Chain A
Amino acid sequence: MTTAPAPASARPRRRRVPAAPYLFILPYLLIFAVFWAWPILSSFLLSFRDSRLGEGAPLGTANWSRLLGDEFFRTALRNTLVILAVQVPLMLALATALAVALNSRLLRLRGLFRFAFFAPLVVGTVAYSAVFRLLFNSDFGMVNRTLTGLGLPAVDWLNQPLPAMSVIILALLWRWTGYNAIILLAGLQGIPEDVYEAAALDGASPWQQFWRITLPLLRPTLLFCLVLSIIGTLQLFTEPALITNSGPGNATMTLGTYLYQQGFRSFNFGYASAIAYTVAAIAAVFSAIQLRLFGRDT
């Protein structure tokens, strides 16, 4: 990412201001060490302990073997991966299309469209979860009213597994597509205009330009969005907690809601830490795969 400093230029400056950079970083580093670095380590140690027995009685690997046989954990894991597999690609495709559209010289009312797609960014997860819960209410919600008004059958959105999952995915799409579109738009504007002009002179259609120029040059930005989206989705909590209450049954229970339940409802910190570390391990695997597959130029 950063190039190594040239030793020749570093040496004289180091003599002149030896302490300054460290003093500038120190306050941040203290917070980082106490509230980030230590907890990361501590979490790992906790996963080998039983916090329900006094002061974290040693437990060995019992939390980890319990994880393997826990059917609720498997449900949470499966639900999370399903949401991930459906929502993230849909969102990134939509965000890319939106970014290209918003960047197009043919677009009028640019400000209005930007406002429409970026406005969900400022809405908090609790606020939009409440709105979605109300809109998708099976008996009185606006969505079902619209469906029946169009002569279509009403759907029992929040009380059936598949529809409940769809509502979560729709809510995530609504909230995060604009965010990714902004990042991609910034990436698009970093592509020099003359590349397109040259391609157009050579007779490349807009479609060819998109596949041959835009997508390849946008790859680092897309990778950035992909990594952050996957980590975000792995930690999904507010939407399933507030829109569907993890239900019906456990149909929308995620790793996030299960971790919350184990950690802060049952106060089983050791087991919750094992769940947390599983999430981290999955995130690490995904990041490694992405860097391998797409990351040569980042």
Chain B
Amino acid sequence: MTVSTSGPLPGASTATQPGGMRARDRRGALWLHLALLPLALLFLAPLYLMLIFSSHPETAIFSPNPPLWFGGAFGENFAQLQADTNFLRTLANSTVISTLYTVLSMGLTSMAGYAFAKFQFPGRNLLFGLILATLTIPTFVTIIPQFILVARDLGLSNTYWAVILPTLANTIGIFYMRQAFGAVPDDLLNAARIDGASEGRIFWQIALPIVRPALAALAILLFLASWNDYLWPLIVLTQKDSYTMPVALGTLVGLTRVSWGGIMVGTAIATIPFLILFLALQRLFVAGIAGGAVKD
């Protein structure tokens, strides 16, 4: 299940191959690095500038000599952002919504993924095909009826549930968990059945612990997706105090008067925890993203 992300060790080919690195390889390596290095810098530049700008007042960001290193205005920018958007409140909203969503979605998708991976039952292929087919249906098709259902019929506007409920039907999660449970040996489950364990207990105490690494990767991806979601919260949240953090930042970006330093602080706060998490858990992250694409 887990996709290995490390190829052969760097340097292995030079030291162990008889005769050392061939000339063609050396030339190839040189060109490879010459091409990749500037591209890598271009990919990192927006992130770097976001961090730098979050610590400078707007006048410095727009000055003839823009800063390339950290300044001391981080606190003032944050205070401005807090005044503009009640940022701490939106941060709390985002945290609660993303956590609830992640826990609930993991429960739903791992249960369903388990059933699809480990049981034969009438209607199985039809149901799975139906769920899989939604992958190719743009979410746009559902967004208006979802809004009518959630906001008007259920009266949930500006609540956490309005954001969470419609996004729980997560197709990729099912796909991914079905793949993960596929690797759990049937014999193990059958042995527990012979010992008289209930199906619920087998799932909870035997199957689920085995797929823990996959669950961890899924948790990160679900949390991140919810944390960064913009369009749906923008639609169902209309009161400032119920905004999630992306919605609050989005209201600022279109304006011209608001401090760019403040916006950069907000975007940095939204991003940095995940950059750190990404650095620490790169393997899980990559496995999780790649897992959605792994075929039978």
How far does the Cβ of B109 sit from chain A's closest Cβ, in whole Å?
A: 7
**Contact between B49 and A127, CB atoms less than 8 A apart:** no
**Which of B11, B25, B125, B137 touches A283 (beta carbons < 8 Å)?**
B137
**Which of B46, B127, B136 touches A128 (beta carbons < 8 Å)?**
B46
For window 25-42 of A, CB contacts with B under 8 Å fall at: 25, 27-29, 31-32, 34-36, 38-40, 42
Which B residues are in CB contact (< 8 Å) with A179?
Answer: 289
**Contact between A178 and B235, CB atoms less than 8 A apart:** no
Q: How far is B290's CA from A72's CA once the two chains are assembled, in angstroms?
A: 38
How far does the Cβ of B102 sit from chain A's closest Cβ, in whole Å?
A: 15
How far does the Cβ of B249 sit from chain A's closest Cβ, in whole Å?
A: 5
Residues of chain A at interface, number, CB under 8 A? 111
**Which of A35, A107, A128, A129 touches B32 (beta carbons < 8 Å)?**
A107
User: Interface code A81-111, partner B: CB below 8 Å = 1, 0 otherwise?
Assistant: 0000000000000000000010111111111
Q: How many A-B residue pairs have CB under 8 A?
A: 310
Which B residues are in CB contact (< 8 Å) with A114?
Answer: 5, 282, 286
**Contact between B5 and A35, CB atoms less than 8 A apart:** no
**Which of A36, A277, A298 touches B169 (beta carbons < 8 Å)?**
A36
For window 233-291 of B, CB contacts with A under 8 Å fall at: 235, 246, 249-250, 252-254, 260, 263-264, 266-267, 270-271, 274-275, 277-279, 282, 285-286, 289-291
Known: A31-B108, A119-B44. A269 touches B144 (CB 8 A): yes
**Contact between B136 and A284, CB atoms less than 8 A apart:** yes
Question: Is B231 an interface position by the 8 A CB rule?
Answer: yes
Q: How far is B165's CA from A273's CA once the two chains are assembled, in angstroms?
A: 21
Q: How far is B127's CA from A185's CA once the two chains are assembled, in angstroms?
A: 30
**Contact between B49 and A122, CB atoms less than 8 A apart:** no
How far does the Cβ of B4 sit from chain A's closest Cβ, in whole Å?
A: 6
**Contact between B174 and A112, CB atoms less than 8 A apart:** no
Which B residues are in CB contact (< 8 Å) with A112?
Answer: 40
Q: How far is B3's CA from A225's CA once the two chains are assembled, in angstroms?
A: 17
Question: Is B47 an interface position by the 8 A CB rule?
Answer: yes
Question: Is B212 an interface position by the 8 A CB rule?
Answer: no
Which B residues are in CB contact (< 8 Å) with A245?
Answer: 254
Q: How far is B251's CA from A245's CA once the two chains are assembled, in angstroms?
A: 12
**Contact between A131 and B50, CB atoms less than 8 A apart:** yes
**Contact between B249 and A126, CB atoms less than 8 A apart:** yes
How far does the Cβ of B120 sit from chain A's closest Cβ, in whole Å?
A: 4
Which B residues are in CB contact (< 8 Å) with A130?
Answer: 249, 252-253, 263-264, 267
Question: Is A115 an interface position by the 8 A CB rule?
Answer: yes
Question: Is B114 an interface position by the 8 A CB rule?
Answer: yes
**Contact between A127 and B249, CB atoms less than 8 A apart:** yes
Question: Is B20 an interface position by the 8 A CB rule?
Answer: no
Question: Is A78 an interface position by the 8 A CB rule?
Answer: no
**Contact between A178 and B43, CB atoms less than 8 A apart:** yes
Q: How far is B193's CA from A228's CA once the two chains are assembled, in angstroms?
A: 40
Known: A25-B127, A127-B249. A105 touches B140 (CB 8 A): no
**Chain B residue nearest in CB terms to A106:** B29
Which A residues are in CB contact (< 8 Å) with B5?
Answer: 114, 185
How far does the Cβ of A278 sit from chain B's closest Cβ, in whole Å?
A: 9
For window 43-62 of B, CB contacts with A under 8 Å fall at: 43-44, 46-47, 49-50, 53, 61-62
Pairs A-B, 5 closest by C-beta atoms: A124-B228, A186-B290, A39-B145, A127-B267, A21-B119
* 14 A-B contacts (beta carbon < 8 Å): A10-B120, A16-B193, A24-B203, A28-B112, A40-B142, A105-B12, A107-B29, A123-B228, A130-B252, A131-B50, A137-B62, A187-B293, A221-B293, A242-B253
Binding site for A on B (CB under 8 A): 3-8, 10-13, 25, 28-29, 32-33, 35-36, 39-41, 43-44, 46-47, 49-50, 53, 61-62, 66, 107-109, 111-112, 114-116, 119-122, 124-125, 127-129, 131-132, 134-149, 165-166, 168-169, 174, 193, 199, 203, 224, 227-228, 230-231, 235, 246, 249-250, 252-254, 260, 263-264, 266-267, 270-271, 274-275, 277-279, 282, 285-286, 289-296
A14-B122, A21-B124, A131-B50 known; 10 other A-B pairs, CB under 8 Å? A10-B121, A31-B165, A36-B134, A42-B148, A117-B40, A120-B43, A125-B228, A145-B66, A189-B4, A221-B293
